[in-house]
Structure formats: structure tokens, C-alpha cells
Structure 1
Amino acid sequence: MRLSLPREAPPASITVVVPCYRYGHYLRRIVDSVLEQHDVHARVIIVDDASPDDSADVARAIAAEDDRVTLLAHEKNKGHIATYNDGFGLVETEFVTLVSADDLVAPGALGRATRLMTAHPGVGVVYGPVIDFVGDDTPTGEYRWGRETWSVWGGHEWFATLTRRGRNRILSPEAVMRTAAMREVGPYNAALPHSGDLEYWLRTAARWDVGRVNGRAQAYYRVHGANMHLEHFDATAEDLRQRELAFAAIAGRDLPAPLDGPREHRRARMALAREALLDARRRLDRGADSESVRPLVEFAVEIVPGIRATGAARAVDRRVRRADAGLSPSRAQRALEFAYSQVDRVRWKGRNVLGIGNVAKHLAPTPAHRSATTIIAASAAQEERR
């Protein structure tokens, strides 16, 4: 079911919380990217976590120039989770988003997200396509993929999609929340410094629907060093373990029916174990030695002991034996890895077009909106500009 989108709506009030630690040289760009959004009433709260450089001084100067900018400066370093939560505690506007000092808000992104939530009061968080950039090569102009459309998922189905795949579908700078949802969901979990965002979006989807803006970039995400994920989707055992901790934490909460925490946790563990084995196989197909993949295999067996009997585990075992015998990857192995690398690129672009879905589903709304998928509109248009 495709609907025309409302283009006119009263400007919403939104606060952008900008956590900062030694990123003072990026602050003016992120603040400008927020205050230049003309279809919202935007405010900025910079939370400097006792940076040892001049970041707080830069933030103080920016705040002195514009009364829409506020600085909260920590006297002692508290870490990024406390920095997030302290910033959230100062929000008084209807909507809120958290954007790292080194990232940027895309032109028009805040208006698009808030219009979606204004039109659909059950939606607690909205995300959308993200453009990666490296260093100071800041993106310019507006990035488009066909028509601008909206997707709205029932929160419970979106929750289940993440547990079935074991992956986070929101990077973070593109996510805009309804402040009422943020208050209900509560603070970031200090026990999850490396996967708190995943657990936070799961908590949100347990009680609120999830929306997505399609066809327009919603944020610019700065890629640092080893985070060059456009090449392939390598996981590490530690990354997988941190994600498992997030799923375990959410499973231990009192989730609303029909969500079942232990069941969703089992699904997530299986997804993570399969991902670990797939990544081990791909590393070996690129010529890695058996020791480098051992942590991945051990992680998979640790969280799903029965996975040793699967074809995926046997495929890894065959490759380990080949590597231990001093043999290079076979021609078939190299061809398979090449095929996977091409799928990776398509999948990354497809994520920017469709979000979490492989194909768009068009279903009529049902009363049980928290567990039914309601796709208002989903764009499968070809990428017009990258």
C-alpha cells in the first residue's frame, strides 16, 4: 500500500545530543549540520566528557555564539554511556537524537523523521539510509535513492527480525526518537559499553513501533581506520560476544507479550553462531591460517554446542584441515569467496534502500499493531545517486 507523504507540517522541536571526547575540531561541523535544518526547531546539547584537549573551550565558544546550543562539561571523565545518559537527561523537546561529534546530520533529515512520527504516534524511533565518509572528506549535497517513502514496522516484528539475524540495523547517528519513548525506554545500559545501542533499540522496539525514511540519506557516518566495512562483513569473536551480551540482557527483561525473551535469545545465539562459522569459512577461503579463526569457532560452539554437527561446522573443519596441511585455498574456495564479496556490496546498498527487509511487504494494518508488519511505503527503486 503506497501513500503520498505529507510535505507540510508544523516544525517540530528536537534536541540533538552531541557526546564529545577529544573531537572538538569536529564540533562546528556537526552543530552547523543541525542548526541549518530549516523545517524543525532544533537545539543542540554538547556533552564534553572531560576532554584533555580544547574540546570544551570550542564547545563553550559555539554555545556563546548561539543560544540554541548548550554545553554540559564533565569535570571528570565518565565514559560514553554516562555521557549519553547525561545529555538525554537535559532534553525538553518533543523529539531527540544522539549524534557523535564526528558524524553529521544529513540535510532535511530531522524534518523527515519528525514528520513520520507526527503522522504515526505509535512510532518511537525512526532511522534511514546512512552515507559513509572517511576523514575530512565530508559529503556534500543531497543523496537520493528514488522517491522518498516511509516504512513502518510493528515493533515486535522489527525486534524479532534483529534476533533472527543477530545484527544491529541502526548505526546510531540516523536514529531520531520520540522523547516520550526515550523516557519510557530509560537510560543506556552501563553494563554494555560495546553493544548498548543494539540493546537500546531492542528495548525501544519491544514497546514502540519503528519507522524508516527511504530514499534520502539521514546521516553521514565517519569511518575510522579498521571500520572499513564496505569491503566485507568480517566479524570478530569479541564483536559477536558483545552482541550476544546485548541479546542476553534484553532477554532478561520483562518483555510485553507476545515477545518471549528466552526464545528470542535462542534465535539470536543461533544467528550469531552461524555468522561466526560463516566468517571463519570466508577467512579460510581468503587464505587465513587455522589459528586466526579458532576464536570464531570456539565462540560458535560455546553458545550453540550442537552446531558442531551441522554442515556449516563441517565445512569449516574441512578448510581447517586443508590449511593445517599447508595447502592454499582451492579454486572453488576462491570463487565462492569472490561471490560472497559481491553479495556483500549488494547487501550494503540494499540495506540503504530497504532497511531491514529483503523485499518490501505490503500488508493492511491490523489492530495488533505491535506485532504486525505495517509497511506504509517501501522503496525498491534503483539507486539514482551514490
Structure 2
Amino acid sequence: MSGTAHLSERLHSFVDDHAISGGVAAIAAFLARSTFKPTTSVPARRAALSPSRRATVSVVIPCYNYGHFLRGAVASALNQPDVDVQVIIVNDRSPDDTAAIADSLAASDSRVEVVHNDVNLGHVAAFNRGLRRVTGEFLVRLDADDLLTPGSLARAVALFDAFAEVGLIYGNPRHFTTPQPPPGRVGRVSWSVWSGATWLAERCRQGVNCITTPEAILRMSVVDRVGPLDTRLRFAQDMEMWCRVAAVSDVARINSVDQALHRDHAASMSANEGSPFDVDLAERRLVFDAVFSGVGAALPNASSLRAQAHESLDREARRQRSPRLRRVARRLGNELAYVRWSVSGI
């Protein structure tokens, strides 16, 4: 195996297990690993795989022109064991057969309801409209081209029940490009828990997102506290939500298991609307400004965290111009397409 191929394979493994956003940012983090440690670690022998009660999890699925994927996404939510599921499909004025498929799914299962937008609102406002229908204790935003893995919601509820201060849980998303989704991988499941302030500080230190979205689940009482997605943001509204939640609650991760399957395909929004580096960087600056001018302002070190985030983004801008990293990027070639938007883990 050549040195380049070995590095490429290691990068694939790293981005699937470590939350890095953006090509050059991914390489920089790969070359300089984080020493970020959880506040609490729960080993596999103590981490529960299912809760001792049935909680209701609401899954909001915004859908625009993804009617051909919609049945799979909905089935992956409805087939979750050990939890009650509410599915809310928001048809964002899709010109394809989304409306008919969504209505058919709702007619065949009382757990599914559909919101039809009269005009196309965009994915952020569409999700927020579905959010207003949520009745569950916990919340998942699932894009119509992605899927939840079996048992993912039960694993998350068990962790929520063990740590009442946790408002956000995420895990590993398995990325795939095949027509048929692969099975979710399950290892010896353990938990990592951070204080929200510690987790947010790491986001400021790195300046990048660490959750793709389908593998994340939120406690609705915390969402009610911090509010819906910020419609001022076009690309990084999910990152801003995670940071807002971390400003008021703890954050946890389910390790050694795929919590969701993220479909990478040519028609995806990240492939077609993923912003150029300078636009992406500017949007992430807005993320931290929004967080620390909102709920994050109450943190005792808010000013220093905001300054650190901007310093991190300034460093990333300089790295983007680094000849060394550009040489690595050229060697990795198509591997960077795999990490071009937001690949999850920590």
C-alpha cells in the first residue's frame, strides 16, 4: 500500500469518527489531533442500549424533491424499537411526487402527519414549521435522503434518562454512496459526556461543525428554551443550534455505533448548494456571533470564547492558503469530496 493510499484510508476512518467540517479543516485536524476529553466516560459494560420506559421522539423530515427517498427515511423512523415515534413530514412545495407519497404514508400510519407548504420556504423555515407540530419529549431532524439506524433513538433516550442535564446527543453517521444503504455498524457502545461549556469551548477552538444532523437528537425542553433554527443562516444553522444548546445544557456522544446513515449523492443540497470556502467561513463567523449575542452571552467567559472562535477561523483562512496543505489536498484527490461539508464525531 502506498503512503498516499494509507493516508487516504486513515482520513476516511478519521472523519467518520471525529467531527470535522471542510476539506482543509479536515486535513489540519487530521494532522494535529485534538486532546479534547469528556467530563464523564461511561464504559460499554455500563452504557444501556434501551431505556426503561417508552418516550416519544418526534422526527421532523423537511422534504423538497426527495419523494423517491422519503419512504425509506420515514420507515427508518417508524421502525425504531422501544420508543414511540411521531413523524412530521414538511413538503416544501416540491414539484415531484413528494406530496402524494407523504399523504400516502400519513394515510397508512397514524404516527405520520404532513405539512404542505403553499410556497417553497427553504429547508430552515420548513423545518421550523414542522417544529411547531412537535409533541414528543425528544427531537430529531432527519433529511429525507438520510436514515436512522435500528435502535438509534432508544440508545439516545437511555443516555438522556441517565444524564438529566444533557440536552444534545449525537453519534457516528455512516456515509454512503451506494443505491442501497449499508447496515449500521454496532460495536461495544459507550458514552461520552461533556459539560456544555466545555463542548462549546472546543467548537470555538476548532471553529468547525462536528455533527452532520441525522445522528443528533435534542431534548425538547431545551429546544423550547433556546428557540428554533436561525433563519438568518443558510448553511450552518445546524451548527448554530448545537452551540446554542451547549450554552445551556450538557452534550453527550454515543460511541462505537452508527446512529444514522448519511447519503452522499450528486443531487444533495451539500453537493449543489455547499458554499465556497469564503462564504462558508463567513457563515461560521455569523454562527459564533449569533450564539454569543444570544443565549451564549450569559456564559462567564463569553467574550473570550467568541474571540477564540474568530481566531480559529482566521487560522483556518491562513491554512487554506498553505502550500503544504494544498499539496496534501491534491494527493488526497476525491477523498476531500467525502468531507467537503460536515462529517460527524468528536
TM-score category, normalised to shorter length: 0.7 to 0.9
Counterpart-to-counterpart distance in 1, 2:239 and 2:212: 9
Counterpart-to-counterpart distance in 1, 2:140 and 2:326: 41
Counterpart-to-counterpart distance in 1, 2:324 and 2:287: 25
Root mean square deviation, CA, Å: 2.8
Aligned to 1:100: 143
Is the Cα contact below 8 Å between 2:247 and 2:295 reproduced in 1?
Answer: no
Aligned to 1:192: 233
Aligned to 1:220: 261
Counterpart-to-counterpart distance in 1, 2:276 and 2:204: 17
Counterpart-to-counterpart distance in 1, 2:221 and 2:237: 19
Aligned residues: 295
1:54 aligns with 2:67: no
Counterpart-to-counterpart distance in 1, 2:325 and 2:162: 49
1:6 aligns with 2:78: no
Amino acid in the other structure paired with 1:25? H
TM-score, normalised by the number of residues in structure 2: 0.78
1:45 aligns with 2:88: yes
Shift of 1:259: 4.0
Counterpart-to-counterpart distance in 2, 1:168 and 1:192: 14
Question: Larger Rg: 1 or 2?
Answer: 1
Q: 1:59 to 1:47 in 2, by over 3 A?
A: same
Q: Where do 5+ consecutive residues of structure 1 fail to align?
A: 287-333, 357-386
Aligned to 1:143: 185
Shift of 1:257: 4.6
Is the Cα contact below 8 Å between 1:155 and 1:208 reproduced in 2?
Answer: yes
Which has the higher mean CA deviation after the structures are superposed, 257-266 or 121-130?
A: 257-266
Amino acid in the other structure paired with 2:262? Y
Secondary structure, counterpart of 2:322 in structure 1: helix
Is the Cα contact below 8 Å between 1:173 and 1:221 reproduced in 2?
Answer: yes
Shift of 1:180: 0.7
Shift of 1:270: 1.3
Aligned to 1:239: 280
Shift of 1:279: 2.3
Aligned to 1:251: 292
1:87 aligns with 2:130: yes
Counterpart-to-counterpart distance in 2, 1:72 and 1:211: 31
- Residue 120 of structure 2: which of 65, 77, 81 is its match? 77
Aligned to 2:322: 281
Q: 1:162 to 1:285 in 2, by over 3 A?
A: closer
- Paired residues for 1:148-167 under 5 Å: 148-167=189-208
Is the Cα contact below 8 Å between 1:49 and 1:79 reproduced in 2?
Answer: yes
Shift of 1:235: 7.3
Q: 1:337 to 1:49 in 2, by over 3 A?
A: closer
Shift of 1:75: 1.1
Aligned to 1:203: 244
Amino acid in the other structure paired with 1:273? D
Is the Cα contact below 8 Å between 1:235 and 1:276 reproduced in 2?
Answer: no
Is the Cα contact below 8 Å between 2:48 and 2:155 reproduced in 1?
Answer: no
Q: 1:27 to 1:259 in 2, by over 3 A?
A: farther
Is the Cα contact below 8 Å between 2:88 and 2:130 reproduced in 1?
Answer: yes
Counterpart-to-counterpart distance in 1, 2:59 and 2:42: 31
1:112 aligns with 2:155: yes
Counterpart-to-counterpart distance in 2, 1:64 and 1:133: 31
Q: 1:283 to 1:28 in 2, by over 3 A?
A: farther
Amino acid in the other structure paired with 2:168? V
Aligned to 1:270: 311
Q: Where do 5+ consecutive residues of structure 2 fail to align?
A: 1-40
Q: 1:235 to 1:259 in 2, by over 3 A?
A: farther
Shift of 1:243: 0.9
Q: 1:247 to 1:226 in 2, by over 3 A?
A: farther
Percent identity between the two aligned chains: 38
Is the Cα contact below 8 Å between 2:90 and 2:115 reproduced in 1?
Answer: yes
- Paired residues for 1:5-24 under 5 Å: 5-8=47-50, 9-24=52-67
Secondary structure, counterpart of 2:321 in structure 1: helix
Question: Which has the higher relative contact order, 1 or 2, with Cα contacts under 8 A spaced 6 or more apart?
Answer: 2
Is the Cα contact below 8 Å between 2:93 and 2:118 reproduced in 1?
Answer: yes
Q: 1:108 to 1:136 in 2, by over 3 A?
A: same
Amino acid in the other structure paired with 1:6? A
1:36 aligns with 2:79: yes
